[in-house]
A and B are shown apart, each in its own frame.
Chain A
């Protein structure tokens, strides 16, 4: 069983953390992953930096630009992760835009992920229909879970389709926004969270975008299976360095 599905089966609300590989410095990748696991994080999204991250707000954009300037590449990331499974047990997901994966070769990319022990991928600009038609077989051949996004604007019919194609969880974008832009959740989000909860989807939902502290984490996980924090964690790294990861995680739950 894929580590993601095992984790989803646990009777707890999951905390997942996104960080951009190669930021703050090129060689931080492994330390950050190990410290996140030690701090009790349930799952990690490793961001493969891209020059043109059009779904991301300023924080993740800037960390991506910095990571690329630091020299991060797809090959270097795979080298850094080569022996990651010797020390880390929680699910690891690579999150990145489609073009770098396409240039590496989708089959080769997936094969490498399997070899390393990556459990899944999140590719915001690979649409579900395109995936279903051209890439699903490849992902499944290598036992990878592909995670799709839904937003408050996604129709019920489309959510049903996304649910049917998903084999792990659904990434529930909290509001109509790029990453890192909202502050706090209001009635709009609560209505949306409840609407999705009432759809009785087969895939658990993990909420992302706009989660930055204990309050938003608690709100997001009232109906959702868990929540993902990205921009707020990157801001913490920018301001406090990699030494105090544990403090940040403790402040969330």
Chain B
């Protein structure tokens, strides 16, 4: 079984490039160039340097002692929350801005839901002095005011997506339309492991630094490279893809994906795509997505703005369908409790997305000598208002 994308852009049955002809030249240009660019020594050197000096990598692999004691297993946290801009998102935007420069693009567009990817994109555009336009659903703009302000301060233009449900999926549609209208000078930085081929593979490769580091860090700490489990939350799936990447072919490593159940998988207010979705086409790829019987894409719900995407990346659909990854869904309440628990056991306030992964201990028991690595994909600063409202702090 292969978990790498094939030459047609598929992971098993999922992926491809279901795009209108107007996008074909843009996507084809990227498809033909991305691997060559990523393999150029000058690219690698600049990418590595920026990850080190600007992002602050390697991010620590932290042995969470009190959490480990409580659940009677060995828990390591991969601290993506300590990256510049506060989440894993910047690994990908650094990579893509360098690709955009190599392609000679002078205008960047991006979509954002909670604003984390928008901020990470605005950040690298400021760094490189490139024009940046971020599409964000009109409703999300209201819900995520601090991130909107950050993007503006970084010099980006935030354009409201007013179509459809006015959230992340519509922001993505708007970004795609912008790219159709600006086919020559613009690069579209997609923030998750979704979209037409080669995006899922490119984003996964940029995020794969997470599992690359886990390997050598674990060798240092435990004398072995492979943990027993790697665990990550999944919205579109970029932090998960990066956390799993170097373990996909290691059969002794259990891969666990945690989706947002919202108010409950069957409550009608959920984002648990693997449980509620069917094969279909969203934003240019064939994957599992939440939709009506009629094939209209539905609006998901999660208390975490970074997980309420109606699809998952094609790699994850493949991992689900083949059984390579075990999928769990965690409710708002369980995620919030896990976020509070980590704050008080370890002194780390996690992003609510990451809190979903931390809630795994409710659903799965691990052995005392198991090594369990959880991706702490982001920090909780951006979610403080949600935590305040929820816990009446």
A and B physically associate: yes
Q: Which residues of A contact B (CB under 8 A)?
A: 50-58, 61-62, 65, 68, 73-75, 97-104, 124-128, 130, 148-151, 153-155, 158, 173, 176-178, 181
Can you report 16 residue pairs joining A to B where beta carbons are below 8 Å apart? A51-B298, A65-B163, A73-B294, A99-B281, A100-B295, A103-B291, A103-B294, A126-B18, A151-B22, A151-B24, A153-B24, A154-B21, A155-B25, A176-B180, A176-B181, A178-B181
**Docked complex Cα distance between A177 and B177 (Å):** 8
Given A52-B164, A98-B281, check contact A130 B24 (CB 8 Å).
no
Q: A181 to chain B: which residues have CB within 8 Å?
A: 181
CB of A149 within 8 A of CB of B22, answer: yes
Q: B20 to chain A: which residues have CB within 8 Å?
A: 54-55, 124-125, 149
Given A99-B291, A176-B183, A178-B177, check contact A61 B163 (CB 8 Å).
yes
Min CB distance B364 to A, Å, is 33
Q: A58 to chain B: which residues have CB within 8 Å?
A: 163
Answer yes or no: B282 CB below 8 A from chain A CBs.
Answer: yes
CB of B177 within 8 A of CB of A130, answer: no
**Docked complex Cα distance between A56 and B170 (Å):** 12
CB of B177 within 8 A of CB of A57, answer: yes
Extra contacts besides A97-B281, A102-B280, A173-B22 (16): CB < 8 Å: A51-B296, A51-B297, A74-B295, A99-B297, A103-B278, A103-B295, A125-B281, A127-B19, A127-B24, A130-B18, A148-B21, A149-B22, A151-B21, A158-B24, A177-B181, A178-B181
Q: B180 to chain A: which residues have CB within 8 Å?
A: 54-55, 176-178
Q: A73 to chain B: which residues have CB within 8 Å?
A: 294
Question: In chain B between 6 and 30, which residues have their CB closer than 8 angstroms to a CB of chain A?
Answer: 16-22, 24-25
CB of A99 within 8 A of CB of B164, answer: no
**Docked complex Cα distance between A74 and B296 (Å):** 10
Q: B183 to chain A: which residues have CB within 8 Å?
A: 153, 176
Min CB distance B284 to A, Å, is 7
Question: In chain B between 157 and 189, which residues have their CB closer than 8 angstroms to a CB of chain A?
Answer: 163-164, 169-170, 173, 176-177, 180-184
Given A52-B282, A61-B163, A178-B177, check contact A104 B22 (CB 8 Å).
no
Q: A68 to chain B: which residues have CB within 8 Å?
A: 296
Answer yes or no: B393 CB below 8 A from chain A CBs.
Answer: no
Top 5 nearest A-B pairs (CB, nearest first) are A103-B295, A100-B295, A149-B21, A55-B20, A51-B296
Q: B298 to chain A: which residues have CB within 8 Å?
A: 51
Answer yes or no: B283 CB below 8 A from chain A CBs.
Answer: yes
Query: Which residue of the partner chain B has the closest CB to A182?
Result: B181
CB of B17 within 8 A of CB of A127, answer: yes
How many B residues are at the interface, by size bracket? 35 or more
CB of A50 within 8 A of CB of B19, answer: no
Query: Which residue of the partner chain B has the closest CB to A104?
Result: B295
Min CB distance B287 to A, Å, is 11
Given A124-B20, A125-B19, A181-B181, check contact A99 B25 (CB 8 Å).
no
Contact of A100 among B19, B163, B170, B296 (CB under 8 A): B296
CB of B177 within 8 A of CB of A54, answer: yes
CB of A51 within 8 A of CB of B164, answer: yes
**Docked complex Cα distance between A58 and B27 (Å):** 23
Contact of A98 among B18, B22, B163, B278 (CB under 8 A): B18
CB of A55 within 8 A of CB of B22, answer: yes
**Docked complex Cα distance between A65 and B16 (Å):** 27
**Docked complex Cα distance between A55 and B20 (Å):** 7
**Docked complex Cα distance between A103 and B286 (Å):** 12
Q: A65 to chain B: which residues have CB within 8 Å?
A: 163-164
**Docked complex Cα distance between A55 and B199 (Å):** 19
Min CB distance A246 to B, Å, is 31
Min CB distance B184 to A, Å, is 8
Q: B32 to chain A: which residues have CB within 8 Å?
A: none
Q: A100 to chain B: which residues have CB within 8 Å?
A: 294-296
Min CB distance A130 to B, Å, is 7
**Docked complex Cα distance between A81 and B280 (Å):** 25
Query: Which residue of the partner chain B has the closest CB to A177?
Result: B181
Query: C-beta contact mask, B62-97 vs A, less than 8 Å → 1, else 0?
Result: 000000000000000000000000000000000000
**Docked complex Cα distance between A75 and B295 (Å):** 12
Answer yes or no: B293 CB below 8 A from chain A CBs.
Answer: yes
Q: B19 to chain A: which residues have CB within 8 Å?
A: 125, 127
Q: B291 to chain A: which residues have CB within 8 Å?
A: 99, 103
**Docked complex Cα distance between A199 and B278 (Å):** 43
Q: B164 to chain A: which residues have CB within 8 Å?
A: 51-52, 61, 65
CB of B177 within 8 A of CB of A99, answer: no
Q: B281 to chain A: which residues have CB within 8 Å?
A: 97-99, 102, 125
CB of A125 within 8 A of CB of B296, answer: no
Given A54-B176, A55-B22, check contact A103 B17 (CB 8 Å).
no
Q: A149 to chain B: which residues have CB within 8 Å?
A: 20-22
Query: Which residue of the partner chain A has the closest CB to B8?
Result: A129
Contact of A154 among B24, B184, B283, B295 (CB under 8 A): B24
Given A51-B296, A65-B163, check contact A99 B280 (CB 8 Å).
yes
